[in-house]
Amino acid sequence: MGYEPLVKQNPLRVVDLGSKNNQMGLVMARAGLGKTALLVQIALDSILRGNRVVHVSIGDSIDKTRLWYDDIIQVILQDGSVSNPHELIDMVQRHRMIMTFKESAFTRARLEERLNDLILQDIFKPRCIVIDGFDFGGADRAALEDIKELMESMSLQAWFSVVSHRNDDRVSPAGVPAPCHEDDDIFDTVILLNPEADVIKLDILRSTSELPEGAGELTLDPSTMLVKSM
């Protein structure tokens, strides 16, 4: 599609995004540090590689989620490396589906029903799904395993976000904080956004892939919310 330079230059490439089906990833951070911004960049990376993406927003509107994409794309376009910006914007819109749920209405069954409606009617067949706002504190391990089984059955790569809390010091042996400290083994990759000085560091706490050199040197620029290499 002509966007190979953007794909190759993406600092997230070192995290080995999208190399396998059925992977489950998790982005953790305290409130307001950039979880949604990172999920959007993960989704855009998949789109630029020719995939379709469903963005599930739990508790937020379609307009608010769309605005995140618009803002991130505008920052990407500002560097001038895209010769046809309108084509990029159109391509992202055609390859992305935003799906919203009320917090009390999100279940594996309802997600499966809505995904099947899209796929079986040949409306939209995603390769990747990002789920922003899932209530990990209110979900048990069985619910997470149920969703993982759905992702595997549909050959979907999935990324979730979760809020961690400063006053909760529970952690897993791998250093994954609550509320996912007892369920981190369900995920192939766990990224923690950790504020340091004037940047937000991406700490990769868990990965089932061998990470290349530089994987631990990623940051989120608070001014643009873009991932960069240190």
The rounded percent of the chain whose pLDDT value lies above 90 is 70
pLDDT class for 152, splitting at 50, 70, 90?
very high
CB-CB contact of 47 with 205 (8 Å): no
What does DSSP say about strands 24-29 and 189-196: parallel, antiparallel, or unpaired? parallel
Q: What is the pLDDT of residues 87-123, one digit of tens each?
A: 999 999 999 999 999 998 999 999 999 999 999 999 9
What is the domain extent for residue 201? Answer: 4-229
Helix 35-48 × helix 85-95 angle, to 10°: 100
pLDDT class for 61, splitting at 50, 70, 90?
very high
Distance CA 124, CA 76 (A): 26
Question: CA angle at residue 202 from 33 to 156, to 5 degrees?
Answer: 90
CATH number at residue 116: 3.40.50.300
Say how many domains are in the chain.
1
What does DSSP say about strands 128-132 and 157-163: parallel, antiparallel, or unpaired? parallel
